[in-house]
Amino acid sequence: MARTLVILKGDGIGPEVVDAALKVLDWAAQKGGYAVERQEALIGGAAIDRTGDPFPSETRALVDRADTVFLGAVGGPQWDRHPKNPESGLLALRARMGLWANLRPFEVFEGMESFSPLARPHLRGMIIRELLGGLYFGQPRGRSVVNGEPEAMETSRYARHEIERVVRLGFQVAQRQGVPLVSVDKANVLETSKLWRQTVEEVRQDFPDVPVIHRYVDAAAMEFVKKPELYQVVVTENLFGDILSDLAGGLVGSLGLLGSATVNGLQGSRGLYEPVHGSAPDIQGQGIANPIGAILSVALMMEWSWGDREPAQWIRQAIRDTLKEGYRTPDLGGHDTTESFTGRVLQQMEQI
Amino acid sequence: MARTLVILKGDGIGPEVVDAALKVLDWAAQKGGYAVERQEALIGGAAIDRTGDPFPSETRALVDRADTVFLGAVGGPQWDRHPKNPESGLLALRARMGLWANLRPFEVFEGMESFSPLARPHLRGMIIRELLGGLYFGQPRGRSVVNGEPEAMETSRYARHEIERVVRLGFQVAQRQGVPLVSVDKANVLETSKLWRQTVEEVRQDFPDVPVIHRYVDAAAMEFVKKPELYQVVVTENLFGDILSDLAGGLVGSLGLLGSATVNGLQGSRGLYEPVHGSAPDIQGQGIANPIGAILSVALMMEWSWGDREPAQWIRQAIRDTLKEGYRTPDLGGHDTTESFTGRVLQQMEQI
Ligand SMILES: CC(C)[C@H](C(=O)O)[C@@H](O)C(=O)O
Ligand SMILES: CC(C)[C@H](C(=O)O)[C@@H](O)C(=O)O
């Protein structure tokens, strides 16, 4: 059976890392004996340049019919003064697809310890970030003038079901891994966090075997760097997840090593897959972008959207082995190009 | 001339560390030849127990007439189910005093490197956190039921002048230290952050010699752990400051080593001084609480409220020397009591 995929290469190094990752996907598809039908559309700055809109209607139409979307990166300084920024295209895409759970696995690979700023860089976990609520989308929001003075405001908002579904996913992941669930909020100050914590307490009744650790976001930021081994499965609201997942990236040492999945449920769900790094306009077009984040996102796609756990494992193993052999792109201090590094990963996969 | 001080010992280890820090203050006052008139009042859980209110009217009346307030810590599990939590007393105090800038210096002292989780623990800086705006106080906020479902919301709000005054303070501190100012926001998503960034751009016209680095909060969390040496003077809004200052504490390795000042302007302002750590109910009453955060808060008080820069330096130096000689409380792996450690600090100060 053919699988369909909408590809949004986006800006900067987006197209370069997407092309690399698609080679890995092709290999896995061939090995698995299925075809992947691909369709491409515009997003972000590239879409602004061509249509004036970072999430144009043609892209929307294509995405509406798709279950699986693969994205490169959006953004760049040339759109800084544009009324609609490229990032707003990404936010619109997330909202349109109704994808409420952003999964960001993090791991220090063997041989990559020196990139971590930590003295004992043992970390491996996943941040599960609610992606459609909180301060990102809450209404009302905007700018006004009060007594001649500019004022700005936005609203954070959560309904119980928006919290419940992502918390439940967190419990499922923690249960499957046999580890505690760390729930992060600011329930000593925020109303949405009080509802969050209360919902966690309710949902946990269905998962009596999963220990729960509640942490305020400030304490979590502190503890995460001191005892990262406690942070195996973390579930939190949108903005806290944005901050904590980048913090995890900082502890790993490079966003270039991280992929992400944005889904609306356990495996078999719709999904948007993208590397965690940005569009890196400074190295655009040089062929030296690190494809690891994009390739790991392909692995997540196979696993979460298509239920292909085994090929996803192969891909991850091939990345680990390639790094272990010392191959790396310049951002990791090496001399590989995007192409040569990807070639190495493919060779590793051949050996499986 | 006598100086007046309102003392709010609060909960848990609050009274213990306050008492220790006041000995250091007494010493400095004697050396400086002035008297400190002290008045004590209730706050937090202790105030709930006695009056039902975490910020009772007698405390409010006393604070209204005071320029300088010294606080221990608030909170504890026994008030978890109380309708007003102890923390709300602290928030009410901050709001009542009109203190909009929370200063949190962080530093890895010599000999304390092993407490930092970082491989290269060289850090020394200050987070300047806006303390009266944003999500903490914005109205409306609350819980409702929409179509039978619980929903929670709160509002983040900033007027330009609330941003301007703290940003200006940030520039002044950065200018005095001759370092760049790092301004942290989420201007790619939040309206308040757009106004924040715009205000920074306006205020910087008055400080042409201070380089400005803008960072999104997610990128800042990542970069802070990777390149902490860039984060010397950081200015940011309330919630981001809450998170980043605890992150700084995590990088130092112990909140017990940090003091804080909450002020409404450059030196000579009104001020609230408190250690960064919490009430630590688990070790309450054992006489082993680490007094360093409280003592450093006394140093900040002398410097910021009273303009006594020299004695503040003595106090800091005495802490450094005491640690260098290996004295430490159990939280830092030592065997000192609060009293014996404080005694050592006082002895160090005698030698100055
Ligand atoms: C680009 C930005 C809007 C986005 C976010 O804040 O969600 C990014 O930081 C991310 O984490 O994907
Ligand atoms: C106790 C809590 C309300 C407080 C805050 O969030 O401001 C604390 O975390 C702090 O940083 O002083």
- We find that the CATH architecture of domain A1-102+261-352 is 3-Layer(aba) Sandwich (3.40)
What is the 8-class DSSP label of residue A114? G
Q: How far apart are CA A242 and CA A221, in angstroms?
A: 12
Take residue A113 and report the two structure tokens written for it.
């310890």
* φ/ψ of residue B39, rounded to 5: -130, 145
Take residue B35 and report the two structure tokens written for it.
């008297």
Res. B185: pLDDT tops 90 = yes
Q: Which residues, 6+ apart, have CB-to-CB distance to B73 below 8 Å?
A: B10, B11, B12, B13, B14, B17, B44, B274, B275, B277, B278, B279, B280
Please pick, among B19, B242, B308, B336, the residue that the annotation labels catalytic. Answer: B242
Give A179-217 pLDDT, tens digit per residue: 999 999 999 899 999 999 999 999 999 999 999 999 999
CA distances from A120 to A90, B31, B267 (A): 35, 45, 40
Res. A1: pLDDT tops 70 = no
Q: Which residues, 6+ apart, have CB-to-CB distance to B143 below 8 Å?
A: A191, A194, A195, B150, B151, B152
Q: Do residues B16 and B287 make contact, with C-beta atoms less than 8 angstroms apart? A: yes
Could you tell me which residues are beta bridge partners of residue A274? A260
Give A69-80 pLDDT, tens digit per residue: 999 999 999 998
* Least Cα separation, residue A182 to chain B (angstroms): 17
- Of B154, B242, B262, which is best to mutate to test ligand 2, by the most ligand atoms within 8 angstroms of its C-beta? B242
Q: Report which of residues B32 and B293 the model is more confident about.
A: B293
Q: Do residues B200 and B206 make contact, with C-beta atoms less than 8 angstroms apart? A: no
3-state secondary structure B140-151: CCEEEEECCEEE
- Of B80, B91, B260, which is best to mutate to test ligand 2, by the most ligand atoms within 8 angstroms of its C-beta? B91
Q: Do residues A73 and B174 make contact, with C-beta atoms less than 8 angstroms apart? A: no
Which chain A residues are Cβ-neighbours of B146 within 8 angstroms?
159
Could you tell me which residues are beta bridge partners of residue B81? none
Give the DSSP letter string of B320-342: HHHHHTT---GGGT----HHHHH
Q: Do residues B73 and B277 make contact, with C-beta atoms less than 8 angstroms apart? A: yes
Query: Which of B15, B10, B90, B5 lies closest to B289 in space, CA to CA?
Result: B15
Which chain B residues are Cβ-neighbours of A151 within 8 angstroms?
157-160, 195
State the pLDDT at residue B287.
Answer: 97
Interface of B with A in 123-182 (CB under 8 A): 135-136, 138, 141-143, 146, 149-161
Residue length, chain A?
Answer: 352
Res. B229: pLDDT tops 80 = yes
Q: How far apart are CA A32 and CA A55, in angstroms?
A: 33
Take residue B180 and report the two structure tokens written for it.
């760049």
Return the residue matching tokens 């306009």: A281
Identical fold at B1-104+257-352 and B113-253?
yes
Q: How far apart are CA B62 and CA B178, in angstroms?
A: 39
**Type and span of the H or E element at B161:** helix B160-177
Band the pLDDT of B269: cuts 50, 70, 90.
Answer: confident
B209 is known as an active-site residue:
no
Fold of the domain built from segment(s) B1-104+257-352: Isopropylmalate Dehydrogenase (3.40.718)
Could you tell me which residues are beta bridge partners of residue A153? A142, B157
State the pLDDT at residue B1.
Answer: 61
CA distances from A241 to A117, A296, B33, B274 (A): 21, 20, 52, 29
Give the DSSP letter string of A58-101: HHHHHHHT-SEEEEEE---GGGTTSSS-HHHHHHHHHHHHT--E
Given an 8 Å threshold on Cβ–Cβ distance, is A218 in contact with B242? yes
Mean pLDDT of chain A: 95
**Nearest-ligand number for the alpha carbon of A99:** 1
Strands A259-263 and B68-73: unpaired
Take residue B103 and report the two structure tokens written for it.
């200063």
Give B87-121 pLDDT, tens digit per residue: 999 999 999 999 999 999 999 999 999 999 999 99
Residue length, chain B?
Answer: 352
Could you tell me which residues are beta bridge partners of residue B181? B212, B233
Q: Using alpha carbons only, give the angle A263, B150, A130 rounded to the nearest 5 degrees.
A: 20
Strands A181-185 and B68-73: unpaired
Mean pLDDT of chain B: 95
Q: Is A189 in the pocket of ligand 2 (CB under 6 A)?
A: yes
Return the residue matching tokens 């609201």: A237
pLDDT > 70 in chain A, percent: 99
**Type and span of the H or E element at B89:** helix B86-97
* φ/ψ of residue B59, rounded to 5: -65, -45
Find, in chain A, the residue whose alpha carbon is nearest to that of B81: A188
Give A103-145 pLDDT, tens digit per residue: 999 999 999 999 999 999 999 999 999 999 999 999 999 999 9
Take residue B79 and report the two structure tokens written for it.
């008030």
Q: Do residues B15 and B27 make contact, with C-beta atoms less than 8 angstroms apart? A: no
| Residue A120: strand, helix, or coil | coil
Region of poorest pLDDT, from A28-32, A287-291, B125-129, B233-237: A28-32
Residue B92 CB neighbours (<10 A):
18
Q: How far apart are CA A164 and CA A199, in angstroms?
A: 6
What is the 8-class DSSP label of residue B180? P
- Average pLDDT of span B285-291: 98
Q: Is A188 in the pocket of ligand 2 (CB under 6 A)?
A: yes
Residue A333 CB neighbours (<10 A):
9
State the pLDDT at residue A11.
Answer: 97
* Least Cα separation, residue B225 to chain A (angstroms): 6
Contacts of the segment B110-116: beta carbons below 8 A, 24+ positions apart: B110/B320, B110/B323, B110/B324, B111/B323, B111/B324, B111/B326, B112/B252, B112/B253, B112/B254, B112/B257, B112/B323, B112/B332, B114/B253, B115/B252, B115/B253, B115/B254, B115/B257, B115/B332, B116/A119, B116/B251, B116/B252, B116/B253
B194 is known as an active-site residue:
no
> Helices in chain A by DSSP H: which ranges?
14-32, 44-51, 57-64, 86-97, 160-177, 191-203, 217-226, 238-252, 292-304, 309-324, 338-350
On the question of a cis peptide bond just before residue A140, with omega within 30 degrees of 0, the verdict is yes
Q: Which residues, 6+ apart, have CB-to-CB distance to B175 below 8 Å?
A: B207, B209, B210
Q: How far apart are CA A86 and CA B242, in angstroms?
A: 29
Return the residue matching tokens 């019919």: A65
Kindly list the domain boundaries of chain B, sorted by start residue.
Answer: 1-104+257-352, 113-253
- We find that the CATH architecture of domain A117-252 is 3-Layer(aba) Sandwich (3.40)
Q: Which residues, 6+ apart, have CB-to-CB distance to A33 below 8 Å?
A: none
Take residue B146 and report the two structure tokens written for it.
């929409």
Rg of chain A in Å (alpha carbons)? 20
- Average pLDDT of span A250-259: 95
Given an 8 Å threshold on Cβ–Cβ distance, is A224 in contact with B188? no
Take residue A221 and report the two structure tokens written for it.
């930021």
State the pLDDT at residue B19.
Answer: 98
Q: Which residues line ligand 1 (CB under 6 A)?
A: A 87, 90-91, 242; B 188-189, 218
Give A215-235 pLDDT, tens digit per residue: 999 999 999 999 999 999 999
Q: Whole-model pTM?
A: 0.95
Q: How far apart are CA A137 and CA A125, in angstroms?
A: 27
A201 touches chain B (CB under 8 A): no
Take residue A37 and report the two structure tokens written for it.
């039908």
Residue B199 CB neighbours (<10 A):
24
Band the pLDDT of B34: cuts 50, 70, 90.
Answer: confident
The CATH code for residues B113-253 is 3.40.718.10
Q: Is A218 in the pocket of ligand 2 (CB under 6 A)?
A: yes
Q: How far apart are CA A230 and CA A232, in angstroms?
A: 6
Q: How far apart are CA A245 and CA A251, in angstroms?
A: 10
